[in-house]
Amino acid sequence: MPYAPTLAWKGLEGPEEAHLVATATQRMAKYSEFLRIPSVSALPEHAADCRAAAEWLAVELRRIGAERVEVSETGGHPIVVAEKIVDPSLPTVVVYGHYDVQPGDPLDLWKTSPFEPIVRDGRMLGRGSADDKGQIVIHLSALEALVGTRGTLPVNVKYLFEGEEESSSINLEAWMAANPERCSGDAVIISDSGFFDGNRPALTVGLRGITYIQVDVRASDVDLHSGSYGGSVVNPANALAAMIASLHDANGRITVPGFYDDVVELTPADRAAFAALPFDEANYLAGIGASATAGESGFSTVERRGGRPTLDVNGIWGGFTGDGSKTIIPAHAHAKISCRLVTAQDPEKISRQLEAALRAAAPAGLHVEVQNLGNGDAFLTPLGDPYLTAAAGALEATFGVPPLYIREGGSIPIAALFQKRLGLPVVLLGFTPPDDNAHAPNESMDLGNFEGGIRAVIRALDAIATIG
């Protein structure tokens, strides 16, 4: 049974509650201001907007009492760092979020305009409202309430807000290596994930990795008359379709040689955990207007989504796509393909294997180019970590039920970076409900989750302060 949606959350016991209530209107105004900046990291024409969002964050962080606030260069979109170190003997928590967003299109499917946020039916609507600006505002609001009432924090906090998460965080690793002190601490909280079902809180304990490529195929210098040339030369669009079709077998398994070699198979305990989730397939399908599930045989839908690797075409184009008909053999065709990966698949290795499989499937006469557009490692964290337990307690105290522990199909490349490169425990404490339409038209954030999220962050920081 899905958990009955409720906007209920429990206010704080201390003076922070009154502070949060008194500043609610101002908070919504700031949230809207942030959402109005179209910081789309993938589109070069929005580079100045990305910088504006970073500057906006820096101004906010300074206003609410953060220190050492800096808009730090990466070679791409800047990273905003700040901190509040109250006592070196206390734990230091690194808080991560991303201020970049996905493009707003397709605009015609939005009920409102993506960068003109509006509150409707208890939700904030707008691109980035959930993924991930709303979750950054949750942390800023928690900081503001704590500093505004206690004048201090229960723990030390370092903030790291990047601007390239939606473009595979391409400059992040090098930046972290060059700025180790700005991302060092005892644990990391990433707020860029969400709940599992309805308003029931969840802690994400697994994320998939990713590799993303673009393949461009070409067979002639110009489009050809399909009557004069059809049947005599290779058609790049036909060929690309066949190459892509060859990457799966009839059971939905990926046929790229070596693809499954490093996959850590799901254990009986993993499978039991997936089976225990309150997943309602009919609801899931109805929510997206789909009529059937699909994928690798032998696994349930939640397993395929959270615990198995995939290969998907994200976009495919070539030839004549206008109205009416035009009889040509296109000169070239293109596809963007990504694989979601699980531990311990190496994204770079998979990218090379995928390229090799595509080349092997290409017919004579077809020129194939493949470029890698990004990689990110999968993430899995053990249950029972004290920081995870602290976050679980904070969620239960706020939302009235214990959180579910879930594995998500999405990717947050920095999670594995923090875990593997810096050896830090990583807690994915996110607040967006599953129907938030992240990356899609009409993205929104449930304001109950938003307000509850602020209380949960404060409770989590208080709980972390007691970890010895």
Site residues (vs ligand BES, CB under 6 A): 131-132, 165-166, 168, 192-193, 204, 210, 374, 376, 408, 410-413
Least CB distance to ligand BES at residue 168 (A): 4
Is residue 329 within 8 Å of 233, Cβ to Cβ? Answer: yes
Least CB distance to ligand BES at residue 409 (A): 6
Any idea which residue has 């294997």 for tokens? 353
Binding-site partner at residue 2 among ligand BES, Zn ion, none, CB < 5 to 8 Å by type: none
Active-site residue 197, yes or no?
no
CB-closest chain residue to ligand BES: 410
Contact positions with Zn ion (CB under 5 A) in 121-180: 131-132
**By C-beta, is 94 or 328 nearer to Zn ion?**
94
Least CB distance to Zn ion at residue 370 (A): 27
**By C-beta, is 210 or 266 nearer to ligand BES?**
210
Q: Among the options 16, 100, 192, 446, which is catalytic?
A: 100
**By C-beta, is 16 or 165 nearer to Zn ion?**
165
Least CB distance to ligand BES at residue 445 (A): 12
Binding-site partner at residue 436 among ligand BES, Zn ion, none, CB < 5 to 8 Å by type: none
Binding-site partner at residue 427 among ligand BES, Zn ion, none, CB < 5 to 8 Å by type: none
Binding-site partner at residue 183 among ligand BES, Zn ion, none, CB < 5 to 8 Å by type: none
Least CB distance to Zn ion at residue 128 (A): 9
**By C-beta, is 117 or 374 nearer to ligand BES?**
374
**By C-beta, is 49 or 83 nearer to ligand BES?**
49
Binding-site partner at residue 410 among ligand BES, Zn ion, none, CB < 5 to 8 Å by type: ligand BES
Active-site residue 408, yes or no?
no
Residues β-bridged to residue 64: none
Least CB distance to ligand BES at residue 455 (A): 21
Binding-site partner at residue 435 among ligand BES, Zn ion, none, CB < 5 to 8 Å by type: none
Q: Among the options 16, 144, 165, 166, which is catalytic?
A: 165
- Tell me whether strands 92-98 and 156-162 are parallel, antiparallel or unpaired: parallel
Amino acid sitting at position 162: E
**By C-beta, is 23 or 419 nearer to ligand BES?**
419
Q: Which residues bind Zn ion (CB under 5 A)?
A: 131-132, 192
Active-site positions? 100, 165
